[in-house]
Amino acid sequence: MKKTSTRLADGRELIYYDLRDDKVRDAVDHRPLERTVTTSEIRRDPLLGDSIAVASHRQGRTYHPPANECPLCPSQGDRLSEIPDSSYDVVVFENRFPSLAGDSGRCEVVCFTSDHNASFADLTEEQAGLVLDAWTDRTSELSHLPSVDQVFCFENRGAEIGVTLGHPHGQIYAYPFTTPRTALMLRSLATHKEATGGENLFDAVLERELAGERVVLEGEHWVAFVPYAAHWPYEVHLYPKRRVPDLLGLDEAARTEFPQVYLEVLRRFDRIFGEGEPPTPYIAAWHQAPFGALDEFDGVSRDDFALHLELFTIRRTSGKLKFLAGSESGMNVFINDVPPERAAERLREVASS
């Protein structure tokens, strides 16, 4: 992998990740852009104890542009985009309309491929491996920023999810705090560790799933399964079999196998609702240990956390979406329409479709 860092016309950082070491990236951003001004503010809810970001400047962000005006495609002739070069393998750049900025963290965009009509599932194993390298590198770099406690790499896919740019891309949020979902996991880790005399909860969950009926796909170094208490109609968790706290902890064998397993899971997601259906909307979310202090979680260290990816769709059946209505949105109690065992069975069935 070759990494080349440069600057856009308004001063934001842009980084090329290339498969070839001899690739030269010296294209200049000629757009007449003014320096980005953000108004991101973090506010803490005193009742729930969580934090929200107020980012009113995002109201003006790019919204469903036509394909020939996509800001994530390479620049061509007079059509100038966020990527100055005429081609790229993988690109990461600071979001022009960030939810988090300055002392409130940082937001980045990850473009998986220059092909506007592709998806992550269309990537080759080599290309998917390069995306993994980019996620890992950005996790490392962002973790050293003084304002960052946790790094979250994710992909939103599909208009139903709320995606406003159709180009295959993901994002990275670098939060200045430990996110509520991760805090819940850490509290459960601490409680289980104390109750069992030191047993790791992630290890116990993985052992149970490996022995059960919800495994979707298993490799030598990774396993994908539908969790026992899945919140979403089709939800798959992808774990390395050797527990590591973050992407930086993966060894070469796990990094090599990841694209094989993940691409197969994504392709099955696109087949679960049958032929003729539009691409399955999904969210793919990497869960990594926070880099900040864990003092509030008694007896838990970063090494107790288990890196994993959670993939889920809001489509519950052909032509129907799972809406977060009263119970889910009002009380955070999910009601799943599809038994996890049936979801796992369906994802195994489409393996050879």
Structure tokens at 210: 């490996």
Is there a catalytic annotation at residue 116? no
Catalytic residue of the set 169, 221, 237, 287: 169
Query: Which position has the token pair 């939060």?
Result: 175
Q: Which long-range contacts (CB under 8 A, 24 or more apart) does 202-209 make?
A: 202/239, 202/243, 202/304, 202/305, 202/306, 202/308, 203/243, 203/306, 206/239, 206/241, 206/243, 206/306
Cα–Cα dist 166/159, whole Å? 8
DSSP string, 175-211: ESS--HHHHHHHHHHHHHHHHHTS--HHHHHHHHHHT
Contact 309, 285 (CB under 8 A): yes
Beta bridge partners of 171: 109, 154
User: Catalytic residue positions?
Assistant: 169
